[in-house]
Protein backbone atom coordinates (compact mmCIF):
# COMPACT_ATOMS: atom_id res chain seq x y z
CA UNK A 1 0.00 0.00 0.00
CA UNK A 2 1.12 3.54 -0.66
CA UNK A 3 -0.13 6.51 1.34
CA UNK A 4 0.50 9.22 -1.26
CA UNK A 5 -0.27 8.45 -4.87
CA UNK A 6 1.53 9.16 -8.14
CA UNK A 7 0.11 8.08 -11.53
CA UNK A 8 -1.55 4.94 -12.94
CA UNK A 9 -0.20 1.46 -13.60
CA UNK A 10 -1.22 -2.07 -14.46
CA UNK A 11 -1.38 -4.98 -12.10
CA UNK A 12 1.30 -7.57 -12.48
CA UNK A 13 2.24 -11.17 -12.02
CA UNK A 14 3.34 -13.54 -9.32
CA UNK A 15 6.89 -14.74 -8.84
CA UNK A 16 7.89 -18.06 -7.26
CA UNK A 17 11.20 -17.86 -5.44
CA UNK A 18 13.33 -20.40 -3.61
CA UNK A 19 11.94 -18.99 -0.37
CA UNK A 20 8.29 -19.37 -1.36
CA UNK A 21 5.71 -17.53 -3.38
CA UNK A 22 5.91 -13.77 -3.36
CA UNK A 23 3.94 -11.18 -5.22
CA UNK A 24 5.67 -9.00 -7.74
CA UNK A 25 4.60 -5.71 -9.18
CA UNK A 26 5.89 -3.68 -12.06
CA UNK A 27 4.98 -0.45 -13.76
CA UNK A 28 4.39 3.01 -12.46
CA UNK A 29 2.04 2.61 -9.47
CA UNK A 30 4.07 1.42 -6.45
CA UNK A 31 1.08 0.38 -4.36
CA UNK A 32 -0.72 -1.86 -6.87
CA UNK A 33 -0.52 -5.54 -6.00
CA UNK A 34 -1.19 -8.99 -7.30
CA UNK A 35 -3.33 -10.88 -4.80
CA UNK A 36 -2.16 -14.38 -3.86
CA UNK A 37 -5.71 -15.67 -3.62
CA UNK A 38 -8.69 -14.97 -5.79
CA UNK A 39 -12.31 -15.96 -5.51
CA UNK A 40 -14.42 -16.95 -8.51
CA UNK A 41 -16.80 -14.24 -9.59
CA UNK A 42 -19.65 -16.70 -10.18
CA UNK A 43 -22.83 -15.57 -8.47
CA UNK A 44 -20.87 -13.02 -6.49
CA UNK A 45 -23.75 -10.61 -6.30
CA UNK A 46 -26.08 -13.26 -4.86
CA UNK A 47 -23.51 -14.38 -2.31
CA UNK A 48 -22.80 -10.82 -1.25
CA UNK A 49 -26.46 -10.01 -0.85
CA UNK A 50 -26.95 -13.06 1.33
CA UNK A 51 -23.93 -12.38 3.52
CA UNK A 52 -23.83 -8.60 3.87
CA UNK A 53 -26.81 -6.47 4.66
CA UNK A 54 -25.65 -3.32 2.87
CA UNK A 55 -22.80 -2.88 0.39
CA UNK A 56 -23.22 0.27 -1.66
CA UNK A 57 -21.56 0.28 -5.05
CA UNK A 58 -20.69 3.96 -4.67
CA UNK A 59 -18.83 3.24 -1.47
CA UNK A 60 -21.05 5.41 0.71
CA UNK A 61 -22.53 2.77 3.00
CA UNK A 62 -20.60 1.69 6.06
CA UNK A 63 -23.33 -0.39 7.70
CA UNK A 64 -23.34 -4.16 7.86
CA UNK A 65 -26.65 -5.47 9.18
CA UNK A 66 -26.18 -9.22 8.81
CA UNK A 67 -25.88 -11.06 12.13
CA UNK A 68 -22.44 -12.21 13.18
CA UNK A 69 -21.47 -15.54 14.72
CA UNK A 70 -19.03 -13.76 17.03
CA UNK A 71 -20.86 -11.67 19.57
CA UNK A 72 -18.12 -9.11 19.98
CA UNK A 73 -17.29 -8.46 16.32
CA UNK A 74 -17.63 -4.92 15.03
CA UNK A 75 -20.40 -4.82 12.43
CA UNK A 76 -20.63 -1.10 11.65
CA UNK A 77 -18.15 1.74 11.15
CA UNK A 78 -17.62 4.21 13.95
CA UNK A 79 -18.83 7.65 12.78
CA UNK A 80 -16.40 9.82 10.81
CA UNK A 81 -14.16 11.71 13.19
CA UNK A 82 -14.73 9.29 16.08
CA UNK A 83 -11.69 9.01 18.33
CA UNK A 84 -10.22 5.49 18.41
CA UNK A 85 -10.60 3.42 21.55
CA UNK A 86 -7.59 3.10 23.80
CA UNK A 87 -5.47 -0.01 23.32
CA UNK A 88 -6.75 -1.51 26.57
CA UNK A 89 -10.40 -0.69 25.83
CA UNK A 90 -10.14 -2.44 22.48
CA UNK A 91 -8.29 -5.42 23.97
CA UNK A 92 -11.07 -5.93 26.52
CA UNK A 93 -13.51 -6.54 23.66
CA UNK A 94 -11.49 -9.30 21.98
CA UNK A 95 -13.03 -12.77 21.94
CA UNK A 96 -9.95 -14.98 21.98
CA UNK A 97 -9.52 -17.33 19.02
CA UNK A 98 -7.01 -20.11 18.27
CA UNK A 99 -4.05 -19.39 16.01
CA UNK A 100 -4.35 -20.53 12.40
CA UNK A 101 -1.07 -18.93 11.35
CA UNK A 102 1.55 -20.32 13.79
CA UNK A 103 4.34 -18.76 11.73
CA UNK A 104 3.04 -15.38 12.94
CA UNK A 105 3.59 -16.19 16.63
CA UNK A 106 6.82 -14.24 17.15
CA UNK A 107 5.51 -11.19 15.30
CA UNK A 108 2.17 -11.41 17.13
CA UNK A 109 4.02 -11.22 20.45
CA UNK A 110 6.41 -8.45 19.40
CA UNK A 111 5.85 -5.32 21.49
CA UNK A 112 7.32 -2.10 20.06
CA UNK A 113 9.56 -0.29 22.53
CA UNK A 114 9.04 3.31 23.56
CA UNK A 115 12.13 4.28 21.56
CA UNK A 116 10.86 2.51 18.44
CA UNK A 117 7.50 4.23 18.66
CA UNK A 118 9.16 7.59 19.28
CA UNK A 119 11.20 7.10 16.11
CA UNK A 120 8.06 6.20 14.14
CA UNK A 121 6.11 9.22 15.38
CA UNK A 122 9.07 11.54 14.76
CA UNK A 123 9.27 10.32 11.15
CA UNK A 124 5.53 10.86 10.75
CA UNK A 125 5.82 14.41 12.04
CA UNK A 126 8.67 15.04 9.61
CA UNK A 127 6.41 13.88 6.78
CA UNK A 128 3.98 16.67 7.69
CA UNK A 129 6.19 19.17 5.86
CA UNK A 130 5.68 17.34 2.55
CA UNK A 131 1.91 17.20 2.98
CA UNK A 132 2.02 13.40 3.18
CA UNK A 133 0.80 13.27 6.75
CA UNK A 134 -1.93 11.35 8.52
CA UNK A 135 -2.72 12.85 11.94
CA UNK A 136 -4.34 9.58 13.03
CA UNK A 137 -0.97 7.84 13.17
CA UNK A 138 -0.51 9.59 16.51
CA UNK A 139 -2.73 6.80 17.89
CA UNK A 140 -0.71 3.96 16.34
CA UNK A 141 1.15 1.91 18.95
CA UNK A 142 1.04 -1.78 17.99
CA UNK A 143 0.54 -2.47 21.71
CA UNK A 144 -2.68 -4.39 22.33
CA UNK A 145 -1.57 -5.64 25.74
CA UNK A 146 -2.84 -9.15 24.96
CA UNK A 147 -0.91 -12.18 26.19
CA UNK A 148 0.01 -14.59 23.38
CA UNK A 149 -2.50 -13.13 20.91
CA UNK A 150 -3.54 -15.07 17.83
CA UNK A 151 -3.66 -13.34 14.46
CA UNK A 152 -7.46 -13.16 14.69
CA UNK A 153 -7.18 -11.65 18.19
CA UNK A 154 -5.09 -8.82 16.75
CA UNK A 155 -7.51 -8.29 13.86
CA UNK A 156 -10.35 -8.02 16.40
CA UNK A 157 -8.29 -5.64 18.53
CA UNK A 158 -7.61 -3.22 15.69
CA UNK A 159 -11.21 -3.50 14.50
CA UNK A 160 -12.50 -2.40 17.91
CA UNK A 161 -9.84 0.27 18.31
CA UNK A 162 -10.58 1.97 15.00
CA UNK A 163 -14.25 1.15 14.46
CA UNK A 164 -13.90 -0.83 11.24
CA UNK A 165 -16.07 -3.94 10.68
CA UNK A 166 -14.11 -6.97 11.83
CA UNK A 167 -14.98 -9.21 8.91
CA UNK A 168 -13.95 -6.50 6.48
CA UNK A 169 -10.48 -6.47 8.01
CA UNK A 170 -10.31 -10.27 8.10
CA UNK A 171 -11.23 -10.35 4.42
CA UNK A 172 -8.85 -7.58 3.41
CA UNK A 173 -5.95 -9.35 5.12
CA UNK A 174 -6.84 -12.50 3.16
CA UNK A 175 -6.54 -10.53 -0.06
CA UNK A 176 -3.34 -8.79 1.05
CA UNK A 177 -1.39 -11.67 2.53
CA UNK A 178 -3.53 -14.69 3.48
CA UNK A 179 -2.85 -13.45 7.02
CA UNK A 180 0.88 -14.12 6.62
CA UNK A 181 3.00 -11.58 8.47
CA UNK A 182 6.04 -12.78 6.49
CA UNK A 183 4.38 -11.89 3.17
CA UNK A 184 6.44 -9.86 0.70
CA UNK A 185 5.14 -7.86 -2.25
CA UNK A 186 5.73 -4.98 -4.67
CA UNK A 187 9.12 -5.71 -6.22
CA UNK A 188 10.98 -2.67 -7.49
CA UNK A 189 14.50 -1.71 -8.51
CA UNK A 190 15.88 0.77 -5.98
CA UNK A 191 19.57 1.16 -6.79
CA UNK A 192 22.59 -0.02 -4.85
CA UNK A 193 22.46 2.59 -2.08
CA UNK A 194 18.85 1.93 -1.08
CA UNK A 195 19.18 -1.81 -1.68
CA UNK A 196 21.48 -2.08 1.35
CA UNK A 197 18.94 -0.30 3.56
CA UNK A 198 16.16 -2.84 3.11
CA UNK A 199 16.07 -5.94 5.36
CA UNK A 200 17.91 -8.97 4.01
CA UNK A 201 14.82 -11.10 3.43
CA UNK A 202 13.23 -8.40 1.27
CA UNK A 203 16.17 -8.21 -1.16
CA UNK A 204 16.18 -10.13 -4.45
CA UNK A 205 19.60 -11.75 -4.73
CA UNK A 206 22.01 -10.59 -7.43
CA UNK A 207 19.82 -7.63 -8.39
CA UNK A 208 19.08 -4.13 -7.11
CA UNK A 209 15.43 -5.13 -6.59
CA UNK A 210 13.58 -5.40 -3.29
CA UNK A 211 10.13 -6.23 -1.98
CA UNK A 212 8.94 -2.82 -0.88
CA UNK A 213 5.76 -4.05 0.84
CA UNK A 214 5.97 -6.31 3.90
CA UNK A 215 3.74 -7.62 6.66
CA UNK A 216 0.19 -8.89 7.00
CA UNK A 217 -1.22 -5.62 5.64
CA UNK A 218 1.59 -5.11 3.12
CA UNK A 219 2.79 -1.72 4.31
CA UNK A 220 5.00 -0.15 1.72
CA UNK A 221 8.15 1.72 2.78
CA UNK A 222 10.61 3.84 0.80
CA UNK A 223 13.83 4.98 2.53
CA UNK A 224 13.43 8.67 1.74
CA UNK A 225 10.33 8.83 3.92
CA UNK A 226 7.99 9.59 1.03
CA UNK A 227 6.02 6.39 1.68
CA UNK A 228 5.44 4.67 5.03
CA UNK A 229 7.62 7.11 6.95
CA UNK A 230 8.97 5.49 10.11
CA UNK A 231 7.26 2.13 9.62
CA UNK A 232 10.50 0.20 9.00
CA UNK A 233 11.20 -2.23 10.68
CA UNK A 234 8.03 -2.43 12.81
CA UNK A 235 5.86 -3.07 9.75
CA UNK A 236 7.30 -6.60 9.48
CA UNK A 237 8.46 -7.16 13.06
CA UNK A 238 5.03 -6.63 14.64
CA UNK A 239 1.68 -7.92 13.38
CA UNK A 240 -0.14 -5.56 15.73
CA UNK A 241 1.77 -2.54 14.44
CA UNK A 242 1.13 -3.53 10.82
CA UNK A 243 -2.61 -3.76 11.48
CA UNK A 244 -2.69 -0.61 13.61
CA UNK A 245 -0.99 1.48 10.92
CA UNK A 246 -3.22 0.01 8.20
CA UNK A 247 -6.39 0.85 10.16
CA UNK A 248 -5.24 4.41 10.86
CA UNK A 249 -4.73 4.88 7.12
CA UNK A 250 -8.15 3.50 6.17
CA UNK A 251 -9.79 5.72 8.78
CA UNK A 252 -7.87 8.71 7.38
CA UNK A 253 -9.74 8.24 4.10
CA UNK A 254 -13.07 7.38 5.75
CA UNK A 255 -12.97 10.36 8.11
CA UNK A 256 -12.59 12.81 5.23
CA UNK A 257 -9.07 13.93 6.13
CA UNK A 258 -7.50 13.46 2.70
CA UNK A 259 -6.79 16.92 1.30
CA UNK A 260 -5.10 15.66 -1.87
CA UNK A 261 -7.72 13.09 -2.92
CA UNK A 262 -9.40 13.89 -6.22
CA UNK A 263 -12.99 14.48 -7.34
CA UNK A 264 -15.76 12.33 -5.84
CA UNK A 265 -13.85 11.96 -2.57
CA UNK A 266 -15.90 12.77 0.52
CA UNK A 267 -16.36 11.73 4.12
CA UNK A 268 -17.84 8.37 5.07
CA UNK A 269 -17.17 6.31 1.94
CA UNK A 270 -16.62 2.92 3.51
CA UNK A 271 -15.77 0.63 0.61
CA UNK A 272 -13.94 3.35 -1.27
CA UNK A 273 -11.76 3.84 1.81
CA UNK A 274 -10.93 0.12 1.77
CA UNK A 275 -10.08 0.45 -1.92
CA UNK A 276 -7.86 3.45 -1.19
CA UNK A 277 -5.50 1.22 0.80
CA UNK A 278 -4.81 -0.43 -2.55
CA UNK A 279 -4.89 2.64 -4.78
CA UNK A 280 -6.18 6.05 -3.67
CA UNK A 281 -5.43 8.15 -6.71
CA UNK A 282 -7.46 9.00 -8.67
CA UNK A 283 -10.25 8.30 -6.24
CA UNK A 284 -12.30 5.18 -7.11
CA UNK A 285 -9.98 4.25 -9.98
CA UNK A 286 -10.51 0.95 -11.78
CA UNK A 287 -7.81 -0.86 -9.81
CA UNK A 288 -9.29 0.12 -6.46
CA UNK A 289 -12.75 -0.98 -7.62
CA UNK A 290 -11.43 -4.40 -8.62
CA UNK A 291 -9.69 -4.66 -5.28
CA UNK A 292 -12.90 -3.80 -3.42
CA UNK A 293 -14.75 -6.55 -5.29
CA UNK A 294 -12.11 -9.05 -4.18
CA UNK A 295 -12.42 -7.96 -0.56
CA UNK A 296 -16.22 -8.07 -0.76
CA UNK A 297 -16.03 -11.60 -2.15
CA UNK A 298 -13.77 -12.64 0.71
CA UNK A 299 -16.22 -11.13 3.19
CA UNK A 300 -19.16 -12.90 1.58
CA UNK A 301 -17.49 -16.32 1.58
CA UNK A 302 -15.75 -15.90 4.96
CA UNK A 303 -12.55 -16.94 3.22
CA UNK A 304 -10.57 -17.12 6.48
CA UNK A 305 -12.81 -20.02 7.60
CA UNK A 306 -12.35 -22.17 4.51
CA UNK A 307 -10.68 -25.58 4.96
CA UNK A 308 -6.93 -25.39 4.93
CA UNK A 309 -6.72 -21.64 5.48
**Mean pLDDT of the 49-76 span:** 52
**Residue 265, C-beta contacts closer than 8 angstroms, at least 6 positions apart:** 253, 258, 272, 283
**Mean pLDDT of the 88-109 span:** 97
- The residue among 223 and 128 whose pLDDT is bigger is 223
- Residue-wise pLDDT for 158-194, tens only, equals 999 999 999 999 999 999 999 999 999 999 999 999 9
Residue 97: pLDDT over 90: yes
Residue 44: pLDDT over 60: no
**Mean pLDDT of the 51-72 span:** 45
- The residue among 17 and 143 whose pLDDT is bigger is 143
Report the pLDDT value the prediction gives residue 127, as an integer from 0 to 100.
Answer: 84
**Mean pLDDT of the 94-112 span:** 97
**Residue 89, C-beta contacts closer than 8 angstroms, at least 6 positions apart:** 160, 161
Q: Whole-model pTM?
A: 0.81
Residue 251: pLDDT over 60: yes
Residue 264: pLDDT over 90: yes
Q: Where are the domains of the chain?
A: 14-303
- The residue among 79 and 27 whose pLDDT is bigger is 79
Residue 38: pLDDT over 60: no
Report the pLDDT value the prediction gives residue 64, as an integer from 0 to 100.
Answer: 38
Share of the chain above pLDDT 90, in %: 72
Amino acid sequence: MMFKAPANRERCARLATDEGTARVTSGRFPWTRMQRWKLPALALGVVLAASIGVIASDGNSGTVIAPTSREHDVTAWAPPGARPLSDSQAAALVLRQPENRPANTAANNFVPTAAELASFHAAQEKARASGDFNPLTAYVTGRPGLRDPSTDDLIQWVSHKWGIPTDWIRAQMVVESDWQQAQRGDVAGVGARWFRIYPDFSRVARTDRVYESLGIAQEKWIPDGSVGAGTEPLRWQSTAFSLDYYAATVRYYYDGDCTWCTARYRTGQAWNSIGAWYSPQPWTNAGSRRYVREVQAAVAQHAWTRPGF
